[in-house]
């Protein structure tokens, strides 16, 4: 067996929980983020608490929105028919999921993992929620101002989603890193991983929600978008401090 090499650094090794960025900058998929979810061990309990917290806060937000519209005529099914036709509603939904997942993870996990979770929460909020959704919303609002065909709406909406994800994820995470460095007085070199872009199917759904593509499309989005945003809360709630173990 060749000798093991241990690489040490004064920088915070702050990477996506299911990816680790190696020396050459390549991303290696190491672990399934749902691993141990159903196991009766510490990691399993933290993951279940994060998922449950994200779901509970999401349902509470949906209840508040639906109840505010329906009031006396409110029915449970109305929670899953909310029209997310504004940036504020979409950001509110995603933030609810994030806060819930973060809360569940903080309660269930140990003290040493609190800081990584809070750092990841800021990355999720700025890099995966506020910045991309706002950019997508601005682009979509411009599309809706013009009398375009359905085909052009879909094409321009797709372009808005791509631009929103590309600039929002990279720019938002950069700002989050700088803020974390100011708050915690240490380097935050979190890398933008594949998953940061992969979860942004929500931006496509957000475009669909904000664009007049018909009631059937809006009905699908109102049910799918809350489920997609659970990822943000789960990612923050399950974030752990890096393990300084020698890998063979």
Count of other CB atoms within 10 angstroms of residue 102: 29
- Mapping DSSP to helix (H, G, I), strand (E, B) and coil, where does residue 144 land? helix
E-assigned strand segments in the chain? 19-21, 27-29
Which residues, listed in sequence order, are joined to residue 29 by a DSSP beta bridge?
A: 19
| CA separation for the pair 220, 215 (Å, rounded) | 9
Calculate the alpha carbon distances from 83 to 87, 110, 181, 214 in Å: 11, 38, 38, 12
pLDDT along the chain (248 residues), means of 10: 43 42 35 81 95 97 87 83 83 96 97 95 91 84 78 78 79 91 88 62 63 63 85 93 57
15-22 contacts: CB < 8 A, separation 24 or more?
A: 15/190, 15/191, 15/193, 15/242, 16/190, 16/191, 16/193, 16/194, 16/195, 16/196, 16/235, 17/235, 17/238, 17/239, 17/240, 18/195, 19/191, 19/193, 19/194, 19/195, 21/191, 21/193
Contact call for residues 219 and 18 (beta carbons, < 8 A):
no
CA angle 176, 181, 187 (to 5 degrees): 110
Q: What is the DSSP-derived secondary structure letter of residue 36? A: T
User: Would you state the pLDDT for residue 7?
Assistant: 41
Query: Among 87, 71, 103, which Cα is nearest to 233's?
Result: 103
| CA separation for the pair 114, 102 (Å, rounded) | 9
| CA separation for the pair 215, 92 (Å, rounded) | 22
Written as one string, the DSSP assignment of 6-29 is ----SS-----TTEEE-TTS-EEE
Which residues, listed in sequence order, are joined to residue 28 by a DSSP beta bridge?
A: 20
Helices (H) then strands (E): counts for the chain:
8, 2
Query: Among 173, 165, 194, 192, which Cα is nearest to 30's?
Result: 194
């Amino acid at each position: 067996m060749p000798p093991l090499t241990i690489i040490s650094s004064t920088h915070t090794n702050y990477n996506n929980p299911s990816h680790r960025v190696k020396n050459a900058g390549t991303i290696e998929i190491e672990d399934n983020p749902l691993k141990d979810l159903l196991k009766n061990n510490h990691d399993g309990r933290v993951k279940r608490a994060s998922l449950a917290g994200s779901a509970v806060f999401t349902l509470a937000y949906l209840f508040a929105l639906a109840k505010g519209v329906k009031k006396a005529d409110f029915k449970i099914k109305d929670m899953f028919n909310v029209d997310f036709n504004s940036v504020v509603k979409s950001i509110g939904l995603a933030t609810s999921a994030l806060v819930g997942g973060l809360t569940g993870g903080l309660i269930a996990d140990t003290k040493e993992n609190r800081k990584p979770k809070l750092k990841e929460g800021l990355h999720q909020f700025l890099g995966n929620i506020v910045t991309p959704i706002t950019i997508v919303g601005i682009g979509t609002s411009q599309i809706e101002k013009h009398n375009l065909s359905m085909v052009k709406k879909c094409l321009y909406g797709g372009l808005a989603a791509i631009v929103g994800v590309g600039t929002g994820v990279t720019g938002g995470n950069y700002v989050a890193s700088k803020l974390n460095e100011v708050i915690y007085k240490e380097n935050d070199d979190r890398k933008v991983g594949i998953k940061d872009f992969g979860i942004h199917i929500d931006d496509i759904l957000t475009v669909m929600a904000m664009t007049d593509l018909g009631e059937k499309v809006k009905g699908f989005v109102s049910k799918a978008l809350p489920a997609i945003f659970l990822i943000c809360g789960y990612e923050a709630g399950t974030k752990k401090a890096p393990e300084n173990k020698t890998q063979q």
